[in-house]
Amino acid sequence: MQARAPEMELIREAQAGSRAAFDALVRQYEHQVLRLALHLTGSEHDAEDIYQEAFLKAYRYIGNFRFECSFYTWIYRIVTNLCLDQMRRRKTRREDHAVVMDRSGDEIDLLANVSDDRSFSNPARELDRKVLGERIQAALTKLTPRERMVFELKHYQGLRLRTIGEMLNTTEETAKNTLFRATKKLRLQLAGLR
């Protein structure tokens, strides 16, 4: 609680209009925001855009923050929503893409389970880390945006499922189920590598 008190003050000052206080908040969270956006999008340019939009949104709506969750969760909610939007935009540009909604409103990617890279046949090359990294990235893009996001937040960012649920405005249970689907799909995608 002691550590949170100064942040609370900063937030209140920012709400009252202090630009300096808002700047201090930005400095506290900017590395995390960039790290997440960078890993999700794979592009410095996209990460920069998401940083910009996220903090401008935070600036605009900080008056609405009512301390009902932590500021960390609040900022992450903004960032994850922006990232999800961007991932969805990218997806709809692919013409050969069939997307269907399941009962919970999540997308089921009908083509994701077809691994189109079985011809990638040289095992020795597969072990090359860089190539491997690219294969992982490719497999990740075959997940639906929500699956990708949950896997990112759980596996790469190490957040608890309950926090992930809060950030994505859903339940811990749903986040857990999304994680199962994501790991299943990834395993199918990467099966050819073993």
Residues 163-192 that bind other proteins (CB under 8 A): 165, 170-171, 176, 179-180, 183, 186-187, 190
- Near other proteins by CB under 8 A, which window of 33-41, 72-80, 82-90, 98-106? 33-41
Phi-psi group of 158: left, alpha or beta (phi > 0 → left; psi -120 to 50 → alpha; rest → beta) = left
Burial of 61 (0-12, 13-18, 19+ CB in 10 A): exposed
Binding mask 79-108 for other proteins (x = CB under 8 A): ------------------------------
* Cβ-based nearer residue to other proteins, 35 or 89: 35
101 contact partners, CB below 8 Å, separation of at least 6:
107, 108
Dist. CA 34–CA 13, nearest whole Å: 24
| Shortest Å, Cβ 67 to other proteins | 4
Q: Report the SS3 class of residue 101.
A: strand
Q: Among 7, 13, 24, 30, which residue interacts with other proteins (rule: CB under 8 A)?
A: 30
Q: Residue count at the site for other proteins (CB under 8 A)?
A: 57
Among 21, 78, 112, 161, binds other proteins (CB under 8 A): 161
- Among residues 18, 52, 73, 113, which is the contact residue for other proteins, using CB under 8 A? 52
Non-local CB neighbours of 50 within 8 Å, separated by 6+ positions: 33, 37, 41, 79, 82, 83, 86
Q: Are 106 and 144 spatial neighbours (Cβ–Cβ below 8 Å)?
A: yes
**C-alpha distances in angstroms, 81 versus 43, 89, 97, 122, 141?**
17, 12, 22, 39, 17
The one-letter amino acid code at 12 reads R
Under the binding rule (CB under 8 A), the answer on residue 23 touching other proteins is yes
By CB under 8 A, name the binding residues for other proteins.
1, 4, 8, 12, 15-17, 19, 22-23, 26-27, 30-31, 34-35, 38-39, 44, 47-48, 51-52, 55-56, 59, 63-68, 129, 132-133, 135-137, 140, 154-157, 160-161, 165, 170-171, 176, 179-180, 183, 186-187, 190, 193-194
